Each structure stands twice: as structure tokens, then as C-alpha cells.
Amino acid sequence: MSRNSGFLKFASLLILLLVFNCQASESQEPSSAQIGKSAPDFSLKDTAGKQHSLADTRGKFLVLEWINFDCPFVRKHYDSGNMQKLQKLYTNKGVIWYSVCSSAAGRPGNYSPAKLNELLKQKQAAPTAYLIDENGKTGRAYGAKATPHMFVINPKGVLIYAGAIDNNPSADIVDVKSAVNYVNQALDEALANKPVSTASTKAYGCSVKYQQ
């Protein structure tokens, strides 16, 4: 790679980070989600208009993945295939996986259901469902600050993990392989009836684009 092309790549990434305010800092209401406590209830529609609630998932492990396809940190995990790999691995083990978007109307990441279905197909994403939280009520209840921000809930409805997807807060696709994946670790431990060794971390990524 030439020095000029390398500089352009760096400059483009820097612009993206600035545009998407990538170290989540938007003000939010206090979260009611706490590790070891019952997860906040929710009722959201997916891209097909079907309603999903926390109560529907009782008896199974649940992952909530806050998402924004316009965010470079989200793209890192989808362009590498990392997020899809996790989705397929754990839904095949009976885990329910919801991708949740709290982007308000007119803000980055907010698309029509038809466009979202197109993007999901294009990226070969494999969540159980993609849920739309346009008013941000569910995101604020969970204290979702970043995309991605990950939450794992056990079959009793108790929150057992909240935070980053892994320990490498970069938007560079090459960093995926060397990172410690906290979601992978939490699910493997919980599915084996072991305590989650790392139950809470600081999420990194773009700020959730809540209604202002």
C-alpha cells in the first residue's frame, strides 16, 4: 500500500468516527438494568411487524445486540463475519438473539423495514429477529450507550452480562481475531452452568442515536 493510499484510508476512518460520535456520550435516562437482577421488560416489533417481548423468551438464553448498520464499529463485526458467526453458533444452541435498533427517525441507522430486510440479507445476518425501538424506550431502560452494546439474559430473565462485545475497542477489522470475545465467553460459561467470569464491561462504539 502506498503512503498516499494509507493516509486516505486513515483520514476516511477518522472522518467516520467524528461523524458518528463513536465514543458514546449522548445523555440518557438512568438505566434499570442491573447485573444479577431481572432484565427490563420490553415489547417491540420486528421488521415483519411481529411483536416480541422479554416474557416470550423465558426458559431460554437471550442476547440483545444494539445495532446501527451505519456505524463503523458495527460494520467491523459484520464485515469480518464475526457477528453472524456468533448469531449462528448460539441460535443453533437454542439461544434467542435479537438485534435492536434505537435510532430515532431521521438519524443514522433508522431505515424502513423493507430496507432493513435488504441489509440483513446482504450482510447474511442471522439474528432471531431485528427489533425496532424507534422511540428509544427499550434502549434507555437497558442503558444501551453504544453500537454494538451487548446484553445476555438467562432463562429466568436475569441479566448476566452487559457491555462490550470484546476487549479491543477499535474499528479495524483485523483486530477481531486477536480480541477476547466477552459475549462468546459469557454464553459458553452460562450454557455450561458456570458463573459468568466477566459480567460487566464498558461498551465501545458509536453512540446510540436516540430521539433528541
Reported as a single tens digit per residue, the pLDDT across 34-66 is 999 999 999 999 999 999 999 999 999 999 999
- The SS3 of residue 187 is helix
Return d(Cα 27, Cα 86) in angstroms, integer: 30
- Where does the pLDDT of residue 25 fall: very low under 50, low under 70, confident under 90, or very high at 90 and above? very low
**Phi–psi pair at 200, nearest 5 degrees:** -150, 130
Instruction: Please give the average per-residue pLDDT across 186-191, as a whole number.
Output: 98
Instruction: Please give the average per-residue pLDDT across 93-104, as a whole number.
Output: 98
Burial code of 30-49, b = ≥16 C-beta within 10 A, e = fewer?
eeebebeeebbebebebbee
Return d(Cα 155, Cα 144) in angstroms, integer: 21
Inform me whether the pLDDT recorded for 11 exceeds 70: no
Inform me whether the pLDDT recorded for 192 exceeds 50: yes
Q: Residue 17: what pLDDT?
A: 47
Return d(Cα 182, Cα 177) in angstroms, integer: 13
- Where does the pLDDT of residue 30 fall: very low under 50, low under 70, confident under 90, or very high at 90 and above? low
- Where does the pLDDT of residue 20 fall: very low under 50, low under 70, confident under 90, or very high at 90 and above? very low
Q: 207 vs 92, 101, 107, 109, 121, CA distance in Å?
A: 30, 12, 11, 11, 25
Return d(Cα 98, Cα 87) in angstroms, integer: 9
Per-domain residue ranges for the chain?
22-207
Per CATH, which fold does 22-207 belong to? Glutaredoxin (3.40.30)
Inform me whether the pLDDT recorded for 23 exceeds 90: no
Return d(Cα 160, Cα 195) in angstroms, integer: 9
Reported as a single tens digit per residue, the pLDDT across 132-144 is 999 999 999 999 9
Q: Residue 27: what pLDDT?
A: 40
Q: Residue 32: what pLDDT?
A: 75
Return d(Cα 138, Cα 195) in angstroms, integer: 26
Instruction: Please give the average per-residue pLDDT across 145-156, as a whole number.
Output: 98
Q: Residue 212: what pLDDT?
A: 85
- Residue 210 is classified by DSSP as -
Amino acid at residue number 181: N
